[in-house]
Structure 1
Amino acid sequence: MKEFEKKLAGCTFIVTGATGFLGSAFVRTLLEHQAHVIVISRRSSDHWRLNKYRDKYLVFTTELRDICDLHIDKPGQTILVHFSASGVNQRDDDVERMVQTNIVGTYHVLNFANEKKLKRVVLIGTSGEYGSGYGLTETAPLQPTSDYGATRASATLITKSYCERRGIDYTILRPFAVYGPYEAPYRLIPYAITQAMKGHTINISSGQQTRDYIYIDDVTRGIITACLSDKASGKIFNICTGVETTVKQAVSHVVSIMGDRVDIKTGAIDNIPGEMWRTTGNPEYAYDVLNWKAKYSLEEGLIETINWFETVGLKLKNYT
């Protein structure tokens, strides 16, 4: 990401949810470009995705409700990027935790931004806020089909209203189906890759659900672009490719790239109640305003991901 080499050097970012899949990829990129990073982390958080960088960022260990205790030297030059969310695992049914993290936690983050007079708040939302739909634009109605999607949509609404009433600079981003290195092992793409590496059959549901798969490096580049652009102020952007792919097609791509070593068994796993059936975004607004678009095709992103698993991933205890 050479375009960010000079822009990020010396910038300060506060990052919640920095130990997760998306947040850690963002933090690694910031650190590789000499940005200053403060991570907001629960005591229970595992920093395994950031092990190589552990001495390069500051950690403020706290719950989101206590974030206002953090002292910032130059708040007017600091951008807060809020990744923290509960319920990313679609089989998670702890609704109370989702409410406390995704809604109440976001409220505390906004209070912090307001009290400290930060430069900008960037909320990382999700395509799950829309519910099912094809070619979804940022003006599409929010019709989530899950508790997770509903609480994330609530976070968007409270961020928009809170910031606009108080004059806080904000941006909201909605990534679609992100995949890549360090993704949680229970997720579809890592599961398919690791099963194929072990020579095991890949069990999936009906496989007819469609997703807008986007490689993690494209997502990280989109987030950084929005953080640094004045044009992103007060706006919502999809971070997606606009390409519709079924779950079975995605898994078939993995198997093909890896040499057709294993079989795919459809119907072996039940569909998840309330899951989105057809989900694809429209990336045109992000391109028009930010000049951002995805660079990786699904095949190119899967090749990068598979190479990572073969050289790094399976050496980590999280995937063994």
Structure 2
Amino acid sequence: MKVFITGIAGFVGAGLARTLLEDGAEVSGLVRADSDLWRLEEIKSRLDLRIGDLCNKKDVFEVISSVKPTVVFHLGSYGAYPRKQSDPEKILETSVHGTLHVLLAAKKAGVGIVVNTGSSSEYGTKDHPMEEGEILAPNSYYAVGKAAQTHLCQHFARMEGLPVITLRLFSVYGPFEEASRLVPTAIAHALAGSDVPIAHPDIARDFIYLSDVLEAYKRAGNMPELGGEVINVGTGVQHTLRDIYEAVVRETGSSSKMKVDVYETQAFDTNMWVADVSKMRSKLGLTPKYSLEDGMRETVTWFSSYAHVYKK
């Protein structure tokens, strides 16, 4: 199988590249000229990396027509992390125009299926498990962009006949996550024996381990009959930041204390954030394999060997 990944240098994209290589796929990906390829260093020689920008239609068309992939996994985005959410124009240009470029190029090149990446942030805050068919209420420019991207993919699938599936990801953690994120920060502090900084300990998320997310991508990439569908990818179980702290100190054997209210509370911080995963189970046939404890154990073990990559 020949696959093409946008966002291949990112956390989930790089993980997807690794697992697809292990499965014997030919893997190509789009990277910007200034992309930091630290996540890909160990596998770079086995990848076909193409230079380009999602927002440049000519770049996208030329690359996809040249690669001629069977499957396109669209993970490229801008503004996923709060520090990059101050440029709404760039966020929306990437989410909407960049995605349209990918869809048009994929159709022209005869791609069999596109797997798009959504975000649980599209829902906004809810007081119940988030279900794919309910009204979206995004409360950040990034979330607005992701919601528009999802609608675009559904419309394109209906109107243009190209199977496009959107996986709406919840809070993914695991190897090679961005250093500034909650789990890597907590592990680094715990291993150093220093206080673990968090925001409010009762903030909740549906945390899902990377390997389970990658399994969802692989299954979706082989199911063109699901074109037009939106599918949550979470565990169906929420955990608080306190739970994350406790799991980290338990797995590291650390005596570090929790240091609360270090970070400002965001508009999307809430004590209720969990996926309704019934559709993931029925459509993808997937039940997450990793509990929080299992996933954290895997992440701590990996981090112990790869801590040096965060010190560059």
Match of 1:69 among 56, 62, 65: 62
Q: Shift of the alpha carbon at 1:163?
A: 2.5
Of stretches 29-38 and 65-74 in structure 1, the one that deviates more from structure 2 is: 65-74
Match of 2:78 among 73, 80, 86: 86
**2:29 alignment partner in structure 1:** 39
Q: Shift of the alpha carbon at 1:319?
A: 4.0
CA distance in 2, matches of 1:160, 1:306: 38
Query: SS state of the match for residue 266, structure 2?
Result: coil
TM (normalized to structure 1)?
0.92
Query: SS state of the match for residue 115, structure 2?
Result: strand
Counterparts of residues 100-119 of structure 1 (less than 5 Å):
100-119=93-112
The answer to whether residue 212 in structure 2 is matched with residue 218 in structure 1 is: yes
TM (normalized to structure 2)?
0.94
**1:26 alignment partner in structure 2:** 16
Are 2:249 and 2:256, in contact at CA under 8 Å, matched by a contact in 1? yes
**1:6 alignment partner in structure 2:** none
Are 2:162 and 2:227, in contact at CA under 8 Å, matched by a contact in 1? no
Query: SS state of the match for residue 287, structure 1?
Result: helix
CA distance in 2, matches of 1:277, 1:140: 20
**2:241 alignment partner in structure 1:** 247
- Flag the 1:276–1:121 CA change in 2: closer, same or farther, 3 A: farther
Are 2:200 and 2:260, in contact at CA under 8 Å, matched by a contact in 1? yes
Aligned residue pairs total: 307
Identical aligned pairs, as a percentage?
A: 30
AA aligned opposite 2:31: S
The answer to whether residue 32 in structure 2 is matched with residue 50 in structure 1 is: no
CA distance in 2, matches of 1:279, 1:71: 36
- Flag the 1:74–1:58 CA change in 2: closer, same or farther, 3 A: closer
| Stretches (4+) displaced over 3 A | 71-75, 273-277
AA aligned opposite 1:103: V
Counterparts of residues 136-285 of structure 1 (less than 5 Å):
136-275=130-269, 277-285=271-279
CA distance in 2, matches of 1:268, 1:169: 44
Query: SS state of the match for residue 83, structure 2?
Result: coil
Query: SS state of the match for residue 261, structure 1?
Result: coil
CA distance in 2, matches of 1:36, 1:251: 39
Which structure 2 residue ranges, 5 or more long, are not aligned? none
Are 2:154 and 2:229, in contact at CA under 8 Å, matched by a contact in 1? no
CA distance in 2, matches of 1:132, 1:71: 37
Are 2:29 and 2:48, in contact at CA under 8 Å, matched by a contact in 1? yes
Q: Shift of the alpha carbon at 1:258?
A: 1.7
What's the C-alpha RMSD, in Å, of the aligned pairs?
A: 1.6
CA distance in 1, matches of 2:228, 2:88: 29
Query: SS state of the match for residue 52, structure 1?
Result: coil
CA distance in 2, matches of 1:73, 1:94: 32
Match of 1:95 among 85, 88, 95: 88
AA aligned opposite 2:295: G
Query: SS state of the match for residue 46, structure 2?
Result: coil
Q: Shift of the alpha carbon at 1:73?
A: 6.4
CA distance in 2, matches of 1:125, 1:187: 19
Are 2:28 and 2:50, in contact at CA under 8 Å, matched by a contact in 1? yes
Are 1:194 and 1:319, in contact at CA under 8 Å, matched by a contact in 2? no
Are 2:3 and 2:70, in contact at CA under 8 Å, matched by a contact in 1? yes
**1:7 alignment partner in structure 2:** none
Q: Shift of the alpha carbon at 1:278?
A: 2.4
- Flag the 1:152–1:276 CA change in 2: closer, same or farther, 3 A: farther
Query: SS state of the match for residue 252, structure 1?
Result: helix
AA aligned opposite 1:58: D
Are 1:129 and 1:142, in contact at CA under 8 Å, matched by a contact in 2? yes
Q: Shift of the alpha carbon at 1:289?
A: 1.7
Are 2:171 and 2:207, in contact at CA under 8 Å, matched by a contact in 1? yes
Are 1:17 and 1:85, in contact at CA under 8 Å, matched by a contact in 2? yes
The answer to whether residue 289 in structure 2 is matched with residue 299 in structure 1 is: no
**1:120 alignment partner in structure 2:** 113
